[in-house]
Amino acid sequence: MCGIAGLIHRGESADIGDEMTRMLLALKHRGPDSTGYALYGDGTDDDYVMRVKLAEQADLQSGFGIHERIRVRREEVINRLQEREVEIVQNEDATEYAMRVHFKTNGDTRHLANYLEDIDGVEILSLGHCLELIKDLGDADDVSKQYGLRKFRGTHAIGHTRMATESDVDIRSAHPYWAYPYADISVVHNGQLTNYWTMRRALERCGHRFMSNCDSELLAVYIANRTDAGDDLESALQRSVEELDGVFTYIVATSNALGMAKDVMAAKPMVLYESDTFIALASEEVAIRSIFPHEINSYDPYEGEVKIWQRN
């Protein structure tokens, strides 16, 4: 059992870091192992923001040498960015084992991502114009404080509270997942894909890389592969309902849209609230009510249903 949530403001920015934190705290009972956010700020096509993991949180307990290894990895990331003539606008230490880099480049970002991940122990969590993906162990209060997320402003977000059932309790297995190497696509998922390995091998033969053995990562890669092949987001989600087996409900976000898909058996819960200016969806209504102090009307999507909302 996990908890998923999404929200989108149409036409304006808002305190989405605080709103998503409240929603995920309301879903804490569905997944206490880790919490993740994919937050969409007001980026531009000229700028990139990259979130990088330099080590697992648990690695800090592995001995005295880990702190020096993390420092060396951080320096090597910066060295390789400069080597590729990337203009670094800002470089921040999110935690001892995580960094955020704002930069400009006209180069090939897929090649750049591959070059950085060639550094032992380095994993790119997200790379895009407006997406910032943050995930760590603990509940939403722990993660939002650790990374200062309540002040984050933007237009839309998705989030996840995880109860580990099929893979390890670590940052690598936590949601959301970025759809490497495509900018600004992220996914959160509740359920299980039963044709995971068949679909994964097919995508790997197309050249896609996987960083975990979590079936939720497959959804991100699948959507990225379909949109790269020419599908619009709605078509890609509809195709996923036809081609993926199992019981699942998932939320996907791009630079300007939020979408959801539910399998034909509809065994995994989802509740929606829609107004002219704001949409919220979550595994349980209590998450949506954490934002609204007044009565609202919500509803459940149908089995096999796909929905898309644009931010403008």
Question: Where in the sequence numbering do the catalytic residues fall?
Answer: 2
CA distance to 131, 181, 205, 290, per residue, from 226 (Å): 20, 13, 14, 35
The answer to whether 219 and 187 are in contact (CB under 8 A) is: yes
286: three-class secondary structure by DSSP:
helix
CA distance 197 to 194: 8
Residue 243 identity: E
The answer to whether 236 and 182 are in contact (CB under 8 A) is: no
The one-character DSSP state at 285 is H
CA distance 155 to 12: 6
CA distance 177 to 175: 5
CA distance 4 to 188: 6
The answer to whether 133 and 34 are in contact (CB under 8 A) is: no
